[in-house]
Amino acid sequence: MSTSPHSNTPATVSLPTDEKLVLKVIPMPRDVNANGDIFGGWVMAQVDLAGAVIAAPYAGGRMATVAVNEFIFKQPVRVGDILSFYGKLVRIGRTSITVKIEVYAENFRAQGSYIKVTEASLTYVAIDDTGKPREVPQPTLKN
């Protein structure tokens, strides 16, 4: 965790330029744990939704989350933070699609500075109507 040299608040960061903004949400009081921070599980669910937005165009149909390869909570999320979920495609396999998601928090009252609160890597698998893995359609090369 990096902090600003003059306080105990996390250092602000620049938003990624090589990733796509796929989701923005504001957690509400119903999403807090006993400490007053946002439940990690709530953040995980939002990350899964954001990852699905990245994977869906490649899946060519139904897909399911099969692995959370990495999930790192870097900072707590507070009620009223504006969360921005950025993602990118990492890999397309025979039946699977791996994506990276980074989550940035912006204070609702002091918008314009961001801190990275979470990063994750998830793998989705393309499935048929019976739930069995199927091949991911491979893009065709155009001449």
pLDDT at 68 over 50: yes
User: Any idea what the CATH number is for the domain that residue 113 is in?
Assistant: 3.10.129.10
The pLDDT assigned to 1 comes to 44
- Number of domains observed in the structure of the chain: 1
pLDDT at 7 over 50: no
Banded pLDDT at 21 (limits 50, 70, 90): very high
Banded pLDDT at 12 (limits 50, 70, 90): confident
Kindly report the average pLDDT of the chain as a whole number: 89
Q: In terms of Cα–Cα distance, which of 121, 126, 124 is closest to 59? A: 126
pTM of this structure: 0.87
Banded pLDDT at 110 (limits 50, 70, 90): confident
Average pLDDT over residues 56-67: 95
Q: How far apart are alpha carbons 22 and 19 in whole angstroms?
A: 9
Boundaries of domain holding 121: 20-126
pLDDT at 2 over 60: no
Banded pLDDT at 143 (limits 50, 70, 90): low
Identify whether 131 is part of a domain. Answer: no
3-state helix, strand, coil in the chain (%, to 5): 15, 45, 40
The pLDDT assigned to 139 comes to 67
Identify whether 52 is part of a domain. Answer: yes
Identify whether 143 is part of a domain. Answer: no
Two tokens, residue 142: 């155009």
Across-strand partners of 139?
Answer: none
